[in-house]
Structure 1
Amino acid sequence: MKKLNNLLDEINDNVKRALAEDIGAGDLTAALIPQDKELNALVISRENAVLCGMQWFETCFLTLAPQTTIDWLARDGDYVQAGQQLCTIQGPARALLTAERSALNFLQMLSAIATHTKRFTDAIAGTKAHIVDTRKTLPGLRLAQKYAVTCGSGVNHRIGLYDGILIKENHIIAAGGIKPALMKAQEIAPPEVFIQIEVESLQELHEALTAGATMVLLDNFTLSQLRDAVALILQRSSERIVLEASGNITLNNVRQIAETGVDRISVGGLTKNIQAIDLSMRFV
């Protein structure tokens, strides 16, 4: 089972595929540079951001030229300012030029996710809620993107279909209802796997709780409905029920949602709607 605390193989695989699609049969433009020429470079952030993706960035260069040295002036999870120097690089000119775009692509994309996540976590500071990611990720880059969420102080939901059960509307329809869906899930779930069920109304929440749900996704609930759902759970003080709000979550409403008392708020936009951080690599 893949976990975020064991990313080395994933990073190498991500970088291998990125370099292969960019270089193909060879970097024709880099061949203009003498083979033995060495260069120094530095990377600068053009905007305020949370840095993320150092290992992906480094691996792009080290894969092509293991003798490359990279000295970082900030670390993953650090808040960096516009104009701040992030690192210096020294190595063979051809390798630096060839790896530059892939390396920056990873650093810009992952820093964007970490930065956007941090905006959400800052917005709900002081509440008990946590910002949670989803499976709405770029194909082949899920672990990288979920790592970036943690650098922005967010929390990972299940990594994939194999490490958690999330019973959604279509599962409920196919299984014949909330109760039969939950009963089947409880029957087949390994001990370490959580079971979460999605509901779309307070009536469905009642039904799910009656069927033994301990983790519920409240889909597109209004603020009033969220407060009512939390109040219902508080009445059942002998049970530990986790409530997660989802659907149309924005920076404009996330604070109000957190203040209803829900435990988690899932935001697909953390990994789905990405505007890369503006970074610049300069040769000196």
Structure 2
Amino acid sequence: MCEGRTVIITGAGGGLGRAYALAFAAEGAGVVVNDIRQEAADAVVAEIAAAGGKALANADDITRMDGAQRIVDAALAAFGEVHVVVNNAGILRDRMFISLSEDDWDQVMRVHLKGHFCLASILGKRWRDQAKAGKRIAARIINTSSGAGLQGSVGQSNYAAAKGGIAALTLVQAAELGRYGVTANALAPAARTAMTESAMPDVVKAPESGFDAWAAENVAPLLVWLGSEASSHVSGQVFESQGGRISVCDGWRTGPQQDKGARLTPAEAGAMVDELMKQAVPAQKVWGT
């Protein structure tokens, strides 16, 4: 499905990123396995090569523009072009909101939000310039949100804020870059990774027998399809995926409304809110409540 395409995957030295890298390579893509742990990236590349695939290990910093440029340059040198970026890398600094330090906040924003910005910015400019020069573009940005970002999660306000920001970023990327042949979608995956095992080990534990719904490999097929040319008609969407399930997320939208047609008094505003709340669809519960 991805023969002749090149994909950069961040945080691909283990967990979901590794599963994505193996799946893309199995479908013919050249894969840049980016991870801050060089030895982990090398190990995934060795797996791909042993299976007959094409891959390159890279340990440059995704949170700096110069690091992101080196990743793109390495991909171009090895494979000639880049068609897909999968922004997957992430970290956790979990604490209740009032216990968060400034560094807890900044580190999560840097890796998740800025990490999603740098590569997509460099590649987006490249794809725009190519499209304006008359080249046919079929490029893909695939971002990583989370149920924490979509519904909130107790003890993860920094992570939830970053992942919610990524969902909104995806909508804007899709709206702005579609004219150049670029789609942007996001995934909120549910799988067993180092991050989820540290946060909820009992929930993601592998079963002794039967289908392992939390295996990272289950999420990879959707990523491969989104990264292929077959997905050109899908953009600006956030998907949830776990096991054999895929769901399309229904995000913030204007709901029930009333309009007085004139300035409200505070009492009128309160009465209007009470009436609207009777009509509104309840939000999903915050994780952990």
Shared fold per TM-score greater than 0.5: no
Structure with higher helix content = 2
TM-score by length of 2: 0.23
Larger RCO (CA within 8 A; separation ≥ 6) = 1
Which structure has the larger Rg? 1
TM-score by length of 1: 0.23
